[in-house]
Amino acid sequence: MREFELDAVGGERVRVPDPERLVHLQFRRFAGCPICNLHLRSVVQRHDDIEAAGIREVVFFHSPADELRGYDLPFAVVADPDKRYYREFGVESGRRALLHPRTWGAILRGSALTLLGKYRPPAVRQEGGRLGLPADFLIDPAGRVVARKYGEHAYDQWSVDKLLALARTAVVR
C-alpha cells in the first residue's frame, strides 16, 4: 500500500500507515447518516479500548468538510466528497445498501435517535448519494492491509470486539 497523508476536518494531519500503531480505516456513508451514527456511537463508547490496543481510528465520509465539522468525535474524520479514497480502496455504492433486512433495524433505531435529537440530521441533499456501502481496513505500521471487510449492506461493518480481535492477531504476526 502506498503511504499518504490526510487532512482531517479537525485540522490534524493523519499519516497512513502510522509508523507507531495500527490504523483502522472506516469508510462510512454521509454526515448525519442515521445508520453510521448508530455504529459510530459504539466506536466512541469503546474508544479507550481501541486506543489501548494500539489502533488509530480514521473515518471517511463522502460529505464535504463543512458538513462534518461540529461532530464531537474522538478520532480523525476525513471528508472525501469526491470519493477519491473510496475508489482507491474499492468501496462501492449500491441499492443493496438499504434493501437488506439486517439494515432495517439500524435504520429505525438510528432514525429514531435522530428524531429524538440525539444525532444531527443529515443534509437534505447528498452529493455523494445515499446508497454507500461501508468498508473497514486494518493497516499495520509497515503499510500491509492485515484485514479488510467490504460491507454487503449499510450496517455491515466490524464490531469493536471484532476490530480488537483482528488487532490482536495482527500484533502477533
Number of domains in the chain: 1
Whether the CB-CB separation of 59 and 28 falls below 8 Å is answered with: yes
Give domain status of residue 73, yes or no.
yes
Give domain status of residue 156, yes or no.
yes
* Residue 83 pLDDT: 93
173 against 142, higher pLDDT: 142
Average pLDDT score over the chain: 87
- Tell me what the mean pLDDT of segment 41-68 comes to: 95
Give domain status of residue 173, yes or no.
no
* Residue 129 pLDDT: 59
Tens digit of pLDDT for each residue in 64-110? 999 898 888 999 999 999 999 999 999 988 776 666 677 776 767 77
Give domain status of residue 91, yes or no.
yes
Structural domain boundaries, residue 9: 4-166
Q: What is the pTM of this model?
A: 0.87
Give domain status of residue 172, yes or no.
no
